[in-house]
Structure 1
Amino acid sequence: MEQTLSDKLALLPAKPGVYLMKGQSGEILYVGKAKVLKNRVRSYFTGSHDRKTQALVSNIRDFEYIVTDTVAEALLLECNLIKQHTPPYNIMLRDDKTYPYIKITNEMHPRLQIVRRVKRDGAKYFGPYPSAFAAQATKRLLDRLYPLRKCKTLKKQVCLYYHINQCLAPCEYVVDAPVYQMMVKEITDFLHGGHQDVVKDLQQKMEQAAGELNFERAGELRDLIRHIEQVMEEQKITTPDQVDRDVFGFAEDKGLLSVQVFFVRGGKLIERSVSIMPHFGDAVEDFMSFVEQFYHERADIPREVLLPEGTTSEALVELLDAKVLEPKRGQKRDLVNLATKNARQGLDEKLQLMERNMDRTLGAVIELGEVLAIGAPRRIESFDNSNIQGADAVAAMVVFIDGKPAKSEYRKFKIKTVDGPDDYASMREVIRRRYSRLLREGRPLPDLIVIDGGRGQLNAALDVLENELGLEIPVCGLAKDNRHKTSQLLFMDEEQPVHIDRHSQAFYLLERVQEEVHRFAITFHRQTRKKTGFSSVLDEIPGIGPQRRKALMKHFGSLDAIAAADVDAFRGIGIGDKLAHEILNRVQSHLQAAKTAQEKR
Structure 2
Amino acid sequence: MPTQLELQIQTMPDSPGVYQYFDKDDNLLYVGKAKNLKKRVMSYFNKTSDSGRIRIMVRKIVRVKHIVVPTESEALILENNLIKSLKPRYNILLRDDKSYPWICIKKERFSRVFATRNVIKDGSEYFGPYTSFKTVQTLLGLIRELYPLRTCNYDLSESNIQSGKYKVCLEYHIGNCKGPCEGYERLEDYQDCVNDIRDILRGNFKQSLKSFRTKMQELAAEMKFEEAQEIKEKIEALENYQARSTVFNPRINNLDVFSIVSDESMAYVNYIQVAHGAIVRSHTMEIKKKLDEPDEDLLQIAAVELRERFELRSKEVLAPFAINLGENVKVTVPKVGDKKQILDLSNRNARFHRMDQLKQIKIVDPDRHTNRIMAQMKKDLRLPTEPRHIECFDNSNIQGTNPVAACVVFKDGKPSKKDYRHFNIKTVEGPDDFASMEEVVHRRYRRLLEEDQPLPQLIIIDGGKGQLSSALKSLDALGLRGKITILGIAKRLEEIYYPGDSVPLYLDKKSETLKIIQHLRNEAHRFGITHHRDRRSKSALQTSVESIPGIGEKTMVTLLKYFKSVKRLKEATEPDIAKVIGPAKAKKIAEFYQIKPN
TM-score, with length taken from structure 2: 0.36
TM-score, with length taken from structure 1: 0.36
Larger radius of gyration: 2
